Amino acid sequence: MVSKEVFVKNPTGLHARPATLLVKKASSFKSDVSVEYNGKKANVKSLIGVLSLGVTKGANIVVFANGEDEELAVEEVSKLIATLEE
């Protein structure tokens, strides 16, 4: 398992459009990808799961991945979160 802490800069946090982009990116990997925020963890391949976390701008979240392409999954998902800006 690989993990990385990421700072959310997006003004709306991980809601609607940003969450949809995140789910699409995570779904391209074979590994299980999840995000932890405020003690809650959600599967990043689930739009409802990501939205249920209520991640806001300025949050520090942790991205986890477990599987055959876990390192690439964490790197790509983290990079997307860090660069999302509406």
Distance CA 62, CA 4 (A): 6
Dist CA 19 CA 67 (whole Å): 22
Is 15 an annotated catalytic residue? yes
Cα radius of gyration rounded to whole Å, the chain? 11
Choice among 15, 51, 57, 66 that is catalytic:
15
C-alpha 17/C-alpha 43 separation (Å) is: 17
Cα(12)–Cα(16) distance, integer angstroms: 9
User: Which residues are identified as catalytic?
Assistant: 15
